Amino acid sequence: MNNRLCSPRTRKLKSIRPAAPVQLPALALFVACLALPGLSWASWASDAPDWLRAQISAPLPAHDQKTDAVMVYSESVLTVQADGRLKRLDRRAYRILRPEGRAHGLVRVYVDSQTRVTGLHGWCIPADGKVFEVKAKDAVESAVLGVDDGYLMSDVQTQSLQIPATEPGNLIGYEIEQELHPYAVGDEWDVQETVPVRETHYTLQLPSGWSYKAVWINSPEVAAVASGNSRWNWVVTNLEPVKIEEDMPPWRGIAARMVVSLIAPGGQELGFRSWHDLGAWYLHLASDRRNVDTEIKQKVAALTVGIPGMLGKMRALAAFVQNDIRYVGIELGIGGHQPHPAAEVLAHGYGDCKDKVTLLSAMFKELGIESYYVAINTTRGSVTTTTPPNLDFNHMIIAVAVPAAASDPALIATIAHPKLGSLLFFDPTDSLTPFGALRGGLQANFGLLISPDDGELVKLPQLSSDSNGIHRVAKMTLDADGTLHGEIQEIWSGDPAARQRFALRATTQDIDRIKPAEKVAAEALSSFHFEKAAIRNLHDAQRPFEWNYSLVADHYAKLSGGLLLLRPRILGSKSSALLEGEEPRRQPVEFDGPQRDSDEFDIALPAGFSVDELPPPIHADYGFALYQSESKVVNQVLRYTRSFEIKQLSVPTDKLDELKSLYRLIYGDERRMAVLKPAGS
């Protein structure tokens, strides 16, 4: 893998998959181009190649009725040339089984400065045997579209080829030939797919005197068969698909694949032999980028003047890069990995993630503080200790050596490094997470720490669940007619606060600011209105975000047969329908991060009513999560308290029934009613 750092859309250079949706507004034009009259010429004498024809009567791998297509054959051939350049041939054949399988007929191949497509063909063999054929000249080129997320320019492009007649029952196939000159020489074979695979082949052709090393991930090793002349073949048959499910680990983190390292004559391993190698390569790439010039010195001085203490100065610099340097991605050639000089980033007032890290690192240097690049994949599980060293990173953050003078309990995203001391991890691209903390997706994730002496894979800290959560306190009064009214305060911290800030900062009119609170209320209350509402600390990420509002909910308690039925849980839902699907779940469930939510709801009961029944208390500790709730009445006030803590970031498949039970338990608790009866009855 060879992802670019800081790219909002990760790419797979060697991946050949049905297209993901393209961004609007050019989508319509893109689709129109695929079917544009005159764009694709009929080849009336077309014929399919033998490798595809051989699949016409091939048996299908095991599949269920929801399977939209099966891969009946795939073949990848990597030919290494003596100068280290690579040629790659990919062939795929699918049998389309359902209308949804038509998507497999859109072939997409990625191209950039290191990759050239030298051949592109697609075929369809329908039931009547009259072959359709399309070629490279029929393909549509497109780039990453839009600038809304600040991704301004990249040389990554795609070539998309629509295979005709991709109808259920038809056999389709395609062939892609590429010449590659990657920064890190090596290869990966994605053995497993999201559809069942009947037969998949990988062939490695090396120059004389070369050798290889193969590492299998998420799969037992499959032995290669040597066919002479430095040629090796691997074959795997009848593979189950990786089922894509909501909140699952990253696809590549669980799919079977083989990573191939190449060893030149003399035993020199190409590519990155170790994380150390990769770190050294990057350090060289960024060697002079953190130089401090006069403008940076002046800016640091201006930003820190009058601020007492080292920590305050560090926070001021971090906030400047977080908030005042706008995110703009311009990634051409090596610019996908190499940052712009810090001075340039400051002068432009914009940059991408590695640019922001570069500038902040330079500014810290001016304060006398050491800091380091940390390359990371924002999807936890994509890179682990079992992953061979590669460039499968898509983001850059910073690790700061915290000086003793700046030590503070608020700096929670830290680890004690054996050589570098206390290291604080910080993401200056994330303007919503304060200096000292780390958002959930980066926690307990592995990043490549690039220090002058080493490149090493380190595990980032997992923060306490207390640092993330929503705490709601309600002081309400219930009238005898069922109307509920009172004040609610919500204190949001960590990731939930970041999400709330993100939603609110994106609003373009004041009347939309109440929208998130309205949504929560509407989820729980059939009829309500806000009497007043206020937000605190929207722009101050160092402090918890707060909602304070007063609310009136008509018909909240229901009168029935003289009884007043009242739900102690006023609003906010912790339950989930994630595991309520009819098909058995196959993948573990991944949480964004640790979290602890709590509610304290006081409801003053109307005079003339007494409590007849209260919901039972709940204490459910499943190890990975803890849920507790209790209703009690003191002095005619019904007090409902509850807490929900996510303690572990992942729930394995053998615990999913427990997670489902927990969600159902919470769902029941959230709906349960207290019964009030007329006093004295």
Partner 1 sequence: MGRHLRTPGMALLTLGCAWVVTACAEDWLPIAPDELKLAAEPAAPGASAIYLYSQVDRNDNDPSERNYERIKILTEDGRKYADIEIPYLKGTESVGDIRARTIRPDGTILNFDGKVFDKTIVKARGVKYFAKTFAIPDVQVGSIIEYRYRHDLASGYVFNSHWILSQELYTRKAKFTLRAYGQYALTWSWPLGLPEGTKAPEEHNGTIELETANVPAFVEEDDMPPANELKYRVDFIYSDESPGKDVNAFWKRFGKQSYRRVNDFIDERRTLGQAVTQIVAAGDPPLVKLQKLYARSQQIRNVSYEHDKTEQETKREDLRAVRTSADVWNRGYGDGLQVTWLFLGLARAAGFQADPVLVSARDQYFFNARVMNSAQLNTNVVRVKLDDKDLFLDPGAAYTPFGMLPWSETAVKGLRLDKDGGDWLAMPLPAAGDSRVERHASLQLSADGELQGKLTVTYSGLEAAWRRANERDDDDTERRQFLEDQVKYAVPIGSNVKLTNTPDWSSSAPTLVAEYDLRVPGFAESAGRRLLMSVGLFGNAEKHMFERAARVHPLYFEFPYQHDDDIAIELPAGWQVSSTPSKQAKEGDVLAFSSAVDQSGSTLHLRRSLTVNIMLVQVKYYDAVRGFFQTLRASDEQQIVLTQDKEAEKH
Residues 574-633 that bind partner 1 (CB under 8 A): 575, 577, 580, 582, 612-615
Shortest distance (Å) from residue 661 CB to partner 1: 12
Binding mask 510-549 for partner 1 (x = CB under 8 A): xxxxxx--xx--x---xxxxx-------------------
Q: With binding defined as CB under 8 A, does residue 139 bind partner 1?
A: yes
Which residues lie below 8 Å from residue 80, measured CB to CB, with a gap of 6+?
A: 86, 185, 204, 205, 206, 207, 210, 262
Segment 517-524 long-range contacts (CB within 8 Å, at least 24 positions apart) = 517/547, 517/549, 520/571, 520/572, 521/551, 521/553, 521/571, 523/571, 523/573, 524/569, 524/570, 524/571, 524/572, 524/573
Which of 113, 464, 507, 661: binder of partner 1 (CB under 8 A)? 507
| Total of chain residues touching partner 1, rule CB under 8 A | 96
3-state secondary structure at position 33: helix
Q: How many Å from the N-terminal Cα to the C-terminal Cα in the chain?
A: 73
Residues 174-193 that bind partner 1 (CB under 8 A): none
Q: With binding defined as CB under 8 A, does residue 83 bind partner 1?
A: no
- Distance in angstroms (rounded) separating the CA atoms of residues 571 and 525: 7
Shortest distance (Å) from residue 258 CB to partner 1: 34
Shortest distance (Å) from residue 625 CB to partner 1: 18
Which residues lie below 8 Å from residue 628, measured CB to CB, with a gap of 6+?
A: 617, 618, 619, 620, 642, 643
Q: With binding defined as CB under 8 A, does residue 675 bind partner 1?
A: yes
Shortest distance (Å) from residue 393 CB to partner 1: 24
Q: Which is closer to partner 1, CB of 96 or CB of 204?
A: 96
Would you say 248 and 585 are in contact if contact means Cβ atoms under 8 Å apart? Answer: no
Residues 25-54 that bind partner 1 (CB under 8 A): 25-26, 29-31, 33-42
Count Cβ atoms within 10 A of the Cβ of residue 292 and give its class: 0-12 exposed, 13-18 middle, 19 or more buried. Answer: middle
Triad 298, 303, 305: Cα angle to 5°: 90
Shortest distance (Å) from residue 63 CB to partner 1: 12
Angle of helix 294-304 relative to helix 353-367, nearest 10 degrees?
Answer: 70
Structure tokens at 136: 């490279």
Q: With binding defined as CB under 8 A, does residue 562 bind partner 1?
A: yes
Which of 153, 226, 405, 679: binder of partner 1 (CB under 8 A)? 153
Shortest distance (Å) from residue 594 CB to partner 1: 25
Q: What is the 3-state secondary structure (H, E, C) of 340-409?
A: CCHHHHHHHCEECHHHHHHHHHHHHHHHCCCEEEEEECCCCCCCCCCCCCCECCCEEEEEEECCHHHCCC
Residues 318-347 that bind partner 1 (CB under 8 A): 323-324, 326, 328, 330, 347
Shortest distance (Å) from residue 395 CB to partner 1: 20
Shortest distance (Å) from residue 261 CB to partner 1: 34
Which of 554, 600, 630, 658: binder of partner 1 (CB under 8 A)? 554
How far out from the chain centre does Cα 530 lie?
A: 35
Shortest distance (Å) from residue 448 CB to partner 1: 28
Tally the C-alpha atoms within 13 A of residue 395's C-alpha that lie toward its C-beta. 22
Q: With binding defined as CB under 8 A, does residue 295 bind partner 1?
A: no
Q: With binding defined as CB under 8 A, does residue 145 bind partner 1?
A: yes
Q: With binding defined as CB under 8 A, does residue 349 bind partner 1?
A: yes
Q: Which is closer to partner 1, CB of 224 or CB of 673?
A: 673
Stretch that binds partner 1, among 23-31, 284-292, 385-393, 639-647 (CB under 8 A): 23-31
Q: With binding defined as CB under 8 A, does residue 563 bind partner 1?
A: yes
Q: With binding defined as CB under 8 A, does residue 671 bind partner 1?
A: yes
3-state secondary structure at position 284: helix
DSSP percent split of the chain into helix, strand, coil, nearest 5: 20, 35, 45
Q: Which is closer to partner 1, CB of 210 or CB of 556?
A: 556
Stretch that binds partner 1, among 192-200, 201-209, 376-384, 553-561 (CB under 8 A): 553-561
User: What are phi and psi for residue 624, nearest 5 degrees?
Assistant: -75, -20
Residues 233-262 that bind partner 1 (CB under 8 A): none
Shortest distance (Å) from residue 492 CB to partner 1: 19
Q: With binding defined as CB under 8 A, does residue 201 bind partner 1?
A: no
Which residues lie below 8 Å from residue 31, measured CB to CB, with a gap of 6+?
A: none
